[in-house]
């Protein structure tokens, strides 16, 4: 007759997965059961609290759409995304530091000419980005693919806007490095912004009295044959939220000084009126292989 108490129940549940053929899956399930059961015992969890947790996770799933991934956002604000990143990138060997992918990578980046303006029709202060991709020894990597994306002057990504399906992407593109490993583009100066707070993750942030802000940054996903894919941000120096990023994504190496400039032409020769900003940042790639991330939700 089964008569499990709070201690031997855990062993019984673990033994129920004994025939799992995939050894890694078996290990992960067993460790999850141990950790979850231990949490219940240590906190003396009540039925009401467990039901609230289930309801919260249910609402998190219901908030997800083809353009919004609330579970990634939850992972980010709990620091799990950065912990997984840290565990999987312990040895950088001089390569550029990694950080979170974030919930706004949609996998829909079109190849764009060097120096192109990816902010057509978007208000904001002009910023020109010039960059280079090399190996660890400084050798330029030609033909590397770089996806870039960032928020607008109001702190919104294109995929957050109601007209995204009709208007298509903006402030995102793909570039391919030239023979010297270089690429460049014109855009607008990004600003710090709040993560979406109109869902269950926002409720969590509010209930715990945390601020929802991310410091200003540009996302980069760099891929080169024979090298590990690089997922990272470049943050703007001087932002007030660099030391309190709500998703814990800032690393000192990823902070770049953005220089105010007054020349009448951008580095690509395009004429401008008034001041503009220059971001310069180079990426060093680590040899190896790895999976290129795919958007967690379907892209349009």
Q: Is 89 a catalytic residue?
A: no
The tokens for 293 are: 């991330």
Query: How does DSSP classify residue 117?
Result: B
Distance CA 98, CA 85 (A): 7
- Catalytic member of 157, 227, 233, 281: 157
Contact criterion met (CB below 8 Å) for 237 and 190: no
Sign of CA dihedral 49, 50, 51, 54: positive
The phi-psi region of residue 238 (left if phi > 0; otherwise alpha if psi is between -120 and 50; otherwise beta) is left
Q: Is 219 a catalytic residue?
A: yes
Residue ranges of E strands in the chain: 126-134, 145-149, 172-176, 182-188, 193-194, 213-214, 217-223, 230-236, 255-256, 258-261, 276-284
- Catalytic member of 217, 227, 281, 286: 217
Burial class of 61 by CB neighbour count within 10 A (0 to 12, 13 to 18, 19+) = exposed
At residue 118's C-alpha, the angle toward residues 112 and 120, to 5°, is 130
Q: Is 217 a catalytic residue?
A: yes
The tokens for 211 are: 């601020």
- Catalytic member of 109, 172, 186, 219: 219
- Catalytic member of 193, 227, 233, 281: 193
- Catalytic member of 172, 214, 233, 286: 214
| Residues contacting 143, CB < 8 A, separation 6+ | 176, 177, 224, 225
Q: Which residues are catalytic?
A: 157, 193, 214, 217, 219
């Amino acid at each position: 007759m089964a008569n499990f108490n709070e201690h031997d129940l855990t062993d019984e549940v673990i033994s129920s997965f004994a025939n799992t053929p995939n050894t890694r899956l078996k290990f992960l399930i067993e460790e999850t059961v141990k950790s979850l059961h231990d949490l219940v015992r240590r906190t003396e969890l009540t039925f009401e609290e467990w039901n609230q947790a289930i309801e919260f996770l249910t609402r998190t799933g219901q908030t997800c759409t083809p353009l919004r991934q609330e579970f990634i956002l939850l992972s980010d604000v709990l620091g799990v995304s950065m912990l997984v990143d840290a565990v999987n990138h312990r040895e950088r060997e001089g390569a550029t530091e990694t950080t979170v992918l974030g919930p706004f990578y949609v996998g829909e980046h079109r190849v764009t000419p060097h120096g192109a303006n990816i902010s057509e029709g978007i208000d904001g202060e002009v910023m020109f980005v010039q960059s280079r991709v090399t190996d660890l020894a400084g050798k330029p990597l030609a033909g590397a693919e770089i996806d870039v994306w960032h928020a607008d002057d109001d702190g919104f990504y294109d995929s957050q806007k109601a007209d995204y399906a009709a208007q298509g992407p903006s402030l995102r593109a793909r570039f391919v490095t030239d023979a010297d490993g270089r690429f460049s583009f014109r855009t607008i100066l990004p600003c710090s912004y709040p993560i979406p707070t109109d869902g269950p993750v926002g409720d969590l942030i509010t209930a715990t009295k945390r601020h929802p802000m991310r410091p200003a940054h540009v996302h980069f996903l760099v891929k080169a044959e024979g090298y590990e894919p690089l997922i990272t941000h470049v943050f703007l120096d001087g932002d007030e939220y660099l030391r309190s990023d709500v998703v814990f994504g800032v690393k000192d190496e990823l902070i770049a000084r953005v220089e105010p400039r007054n020349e009448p032409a951008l580095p690509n020769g395009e004429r401008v009126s008034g001041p503009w900003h220059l971001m310069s940042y180079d990426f060093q790639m680590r040899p190896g292989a790895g999976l290129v991330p795919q958007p967690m939700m379907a892209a349009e």
